[in-house]
Amino acid sequence: MKIEPEKCISCGNCVAYCPARAIFGGSDGTFAVNEDVCFECGLCRYAFVCPEGAFIESVGMGEMPRIMRSLFSDPNTTHKSTMVPGRGTEESKTNDVTGQVRRGETGLCIELGRPGIGCCFKDVSLMTECLKNTGVSFISGNPLITLMDKKSGRFPEYLSEERILSAIIEIVFKEEYLESVLEVIFETGQRLDTVFSLSLISRFDERGGLALLNQLENLGIKPSGSAKVNMGLGFPPAEEG
């Protein structure tokens, strides 16, 4: 995004709203956007941020690679590749009908840049390349997958410096590999220039328990307390396999 100087009334209201911390004051009292830093999340176009409507799209906003910033930052966009809104898949929300993660399997969602720091595609590429070598499956339908080289797990070089609010890598694997996969994630995480939020998807067992909680405890990992639970009301039910 950028600001039309003639429309800016120098109120400075936009500065604190910007999740990218990309807006700065100039010597003439008006404000401007550092477009290298901007996530293109589009929040600044809202009237409560800029009552004058001074924000306009950056040059090249609708084209590659700039458009990727918006697709992975603005919650009001839908990826043409998946027709699913948001940055990831429906994951556990519809697992009762999609069966993406079955009994005996574990899903992990590694969301780079979250909370609130953002990341570049080079961070995403580093993590996916390392995960590719572990043999995990990347969950289909995730918009990242359409951009990733399937053999190497890398992302195109021209995307490397594109800044986004977050990208969620979704993987699934047999549950006995949890420890080794987590080891790779934590080791790679130390080499990132950002943070990542991690969550684990698991089916409830026949008795309504989550056996993986014990496995996590043995690994010294304590879930934070926040959880999303699929209530099993979807139809037709996913086949067990």
Restricting to residues 110-129, which ones interact with other proteins according to CB under 8 A? 111-118
The reply on whether position 241 binds other proteins by CB under 8 A is no
Q: Which residue in the set 65, 154, 210, 215 belongs to the binding site for other proteins (CB under 8 A)?
A: 210
- What is the smallest separation between the CB atom of 41 and other proteins, expressed in angstroms? 7
Looking at residues 172 to 201 of the shown chain, list those that interact with other proteins (rule: CB under 8 A): 185-186, 189-190, 192-201
Interactions with other proteins, residue window 40-69 (CB under 8 A): 41, 43, 45-48, 51
Q: Are 174 and 105 in contact (CB under 8 A)?
A: yes
- Asked whether position 29 contacts other proteins by CB under 8 A, the answer is no
DSSP assignment of 81-107, as one string?
Answer: TT--BSSS--GGGGHHHH-SS-TTEEE
Using the rule CB under 8 A, is 21 a contact of other proteins?
Answer: yes
**CB of residue 39 vs other proteins: minimum separation in angstroms?**
8
Alpha helix segments (H runs only) across 13-87: 13-17, 67-71
Interface region with other proteins, contact rule CB under 8 A, candidates 53-61, 131-139, 148-156, 224-232: 224-232
The 8-class DSSP code of residue 177 comes to: G
State which residue, 151 or 231, has the beta carbon closest to other proteins. 231
Binding of other proteins by 81 (CB under 8 A): no
Which of 38, 69, 71, 92 forms a contact with other proteins (CB under 8 A)? 92
Q: Least distance to other proteins from the beta carbon of 136, Å?
A: 16
Candidate residues 7, 11, 174, 176; the one interacting with other proteins per rule CB under 8 A: 11
Q: How far is CA 203 from CA 98, 103, 151, 164, in A?
A: 13, 6, 29, 31
Q: How many residues bind other proteins (CB under 8 A)?
A: 89
Residues 203 and 101: their CA atoms lie apart, in Å, by 7
In 3D, which of 109, 102, 83, 22 has the Cα closest to residue 58? 22
With respect to other proteins, which residue has the nearer C-beta, 151 or 227? Answer: 227
Cβ atoms within 10 Å, residue 230 = 16
Residue 168 binds to other proteins (criterion: CB under 8 A):
yes
Shortest reach from residue 125's CB to other proteins, in Å: 15
Please answer whether residues 161 and 120 qualify as being in contact, where contact means their C-beta atoms are separated by less than 8 angstroms.
yes
Residue 93's Cβ-side half-sphere holds a number of Cα atoms within 13 Å equal to 6
Sign of the alpha-carbon dihedral angle for 107, 133, 180, 195: negative
Stretch near other proteins under the rule CB under 8 A, chosen from 18-26, 60-68, 145-153, 173-181: 18-26
Interacting residues of 205 by C-beta distance below 8 A, sequence separation 6+: 103, 211
